[in-house]
Amino acid sequence: MRRKLVAGNWKMNGALATNAALIADIKDGLVVVGNAADVAVCVPAPYLAQVQLACAGSLLTLGAQDVSAHAAGAFTGEVAAAMLCEFGCAYVIVGHSERRAYHGESDALVGAKALAALRAGLTPIVCVGETLAQREAGQTNQVVGRQLDAVLAQLDVQDVDKIVVAYEPVWAIGTGKTATPAMAQEVHAVLRSGLAVKNAAAAARVQILYGGSMKPDNAKELLAMSDIDGGLIGGAALKAVDFLVIVQAAQGN
């Protein structure tokens, strides 16, 4: 049985005071709900030091939202994987749809970022997903398969189960729309099959998260699906009570 993972993605939100209150509330809640699932928050880079200190000794794990494909050098504005490790990060998101859309990140670059994260000892949360136009054109499996394959092409066979995959249908992020549990499960199964082509044994161990507007009112049904191993949580991760309800749902499936 794969352990569930609930990872909050704060996106470009936060402030010192609100961060402190949010983390404190989440930590208190985790003491009550227990540690039957992995729980992480992926925060903006300026707040890594603050949240590292706040998470110390708790059940909450720290993650970052992006990483450079380069180890060091003249890359102004970039953040290296080794730097993230110095702030206690365990996870880093790569290939989020917003990075792909707003910053023109290619499938190959996402693969390079995932590899850089792995080499530093980080677990990359590799995001894949289709737009509404692609879904309506019947291209969902082709798109997510291409995005995943570009990452797997850069990984050694033994590294397949060192990544986390997040399926985030772009049409369901911040739109109020959500894939039904059956729709999400279908794509998750396709992704696991793609992982199995590279390493069948490892594919069974990879956590595949759903990242399309998982909320307290739909988390239980989504997490009950056989290939949905957790969630990459956006808006609901900014409210401790909502985030903890999702964590509880993950604990119970």
Which positions are catalytic? 96, 168
Distance (Å, whole) CA 169 – CA 164: 16
The number of beta carbons lying within 10 Å of the beta carbon of residue 86 is 12
CB 138 within 8 A of CB 177: no
Distance (Å, whole) CA 222 – CA 224: 5
Torsions phi, psi of 233, nearest 5?
A: -105, 125
Distances in Å between the Cα of 146 and the Cα atoms of 136, 143, 213 are: 17, 5, 23
Torsions phi, psi of 41, nearest 5?
A: -125, 130
Is 139 exposed, middle or buried, given 0-12, 13-18 or 19+ CB atoms closer than 10 A?
A: middle
Which pair of tokens denotes residue 24?
């404190």
Distance (Å, whole) CA 172 – CA 156: 32
**Of all residues in the chain, what percent are helix, strand and coil, respectively (each to 5)?**
50, 15, 35
CB 59 within 8 A of CB 27: yes
Which pair of tokens denotes residue 115?
């590899």
Distances in Å between the Cα of 190 and the Cα atoms of 33, 182, 212 are: 32, 13, 16
